[in-house]
Structure 1
Amino acid sequence: MAGGLFALLDDVAALARIAAASVDDVGAAAGRASAKAAGVVVDDTAVTPQFLEGSAAERELPIIKKIAIGSLRNKLLFILPAALLLSEFLPQALPVLLIIGGTYLAYEGAEKVWERVSGHHADEAEQELAEQGEFTAEHEAKTVSGAIRTDFILSAEIMVIALNEVVGSDPDAGFVMKAAILTVVAIFITALVYGVVALIVKMDDVGLKLTLRPSERSQRVGHALVGAMPRLLAAISLIGTLAMLWVGGHILLTSLDELGWHAPYDLVHHWEEAVHDAVDGIGALLGWLVNTLASAVVGLVVGAVAVAVMHVLPFGHGKGGEKAAS
Structure 2
Amino acid sequence: MAGASLLTLLDDIAMLLDDVAVLSKVAAKKTAGVLGDDLAVNAEQLSGGLKADRELPVVWAVFKGSMLNKAILVPIALLLSYFLPVVIMPLLMLGGAYLCYEGFEKVWHKFSHKVEHKQQHEQRVAALQDETVNITLYEKDKIKGAIRTDFILSAEIIIIALGTVADKAITTQISVLVFIAILMTIGVYGLVAGIVKIDDGGFLLIKDKSISLWGKFKRALGYFMIAFAPKLMKFLAVAGTIAMWLVGGSLITHGVPAFHHFIESAIHFAGNLPIFSGLLVAITPLLIDLVVGFVLGAVLVFASLAVMAITKKKNKPVSE
- TM-score class, shorter-chain normalisation, is 0.7 to 0.9
Which residues in structure 2 correspond to 1:1-326 (within 5 Å)? Answer: 7=4, 10-11=7-8, 14-35=11-32, 37-50=34-47, 53-76=48-71, 78-120=72-114, 127=121, 129-132=123-126, 133=128, 134-163=133-162, 165-166=163-164, 170-214=165-209, 215-257=215-257, 263-279=258-274, 282-310=276-304, 312-315=305-308
Q: CA deviation at 1:48?
A: 3.4
SS in 1 for 2:50: coil
SS in 1 for 2:272: helix
Q: CA deviation at 1:30?
A: 3.1
Does structure 2 conserve the Cα–Cα contact (< 8 Å) formed by 1:41 and 1:158? no
Q: CA deviation at 1:112?
A: 2.9
Inter-partner Cα distance in structure 1 for 2:284 and 2:67: 34
Could you say what the CA RMSD is over the residues aligned between the two structures, in angstroms? 2.9
Amino acid at match of 1:101: G
Amino acid at match of 1:104: Y
Inter-partner Cα distance in structure 2 for 1:146 and 1:58: 20
In the superposition, the TM-score normalised over structure 2's length comes to: 0.83
Q: What is the number of residues matched between the two proteins?
A: 306
1:200-252 Cα offsets, whole Å, 9 max, x none, are 11100011111221233222211111111111001111111111112211211
Inter-partner Cα distance in structure 1 for 2:253 and 2:52: 42
Task: Return 5+ residue gaps in structure 2 as ranges.
Answer: 210-214
Amino acid at match of 1:136: I
Inter-partner Cα distance in structure 2 for 1:16 and 1:28: 18
Q: CA deviation at 1:111?
A: 1.9
123 and 83 in structure 1: CA distance in 2 versus 1, 3 angstrom threshold: farther
Q: CA deviation at 1:91?
A: 0.2
171 and 145 in structure 1: CA distance in 2 versus 1, 3 angstrom threshold: closer
SS in 2 for 1:315: helix
Inter-partner Cα distance in structure 1 for 2:87 and 2:183: 26
Moved more, 154-163 or 236-245: 154-163
Q: CA deviation at 1:18?
A: 1.5
44 and 28 in structure 1: CA distance in 2 versus 1, 3 angstrom threshold: same
Q: CA deviation at 1:274?
A: 1.6
Moved more, 194-203 or 108-117: 108-117
Instruction: Give the share of equivalent positions with the same residue, in percent.
Output: 32
178 and 11 in structure 1: CA distance in 2 versus 1, 3 angstrom threshold: closer
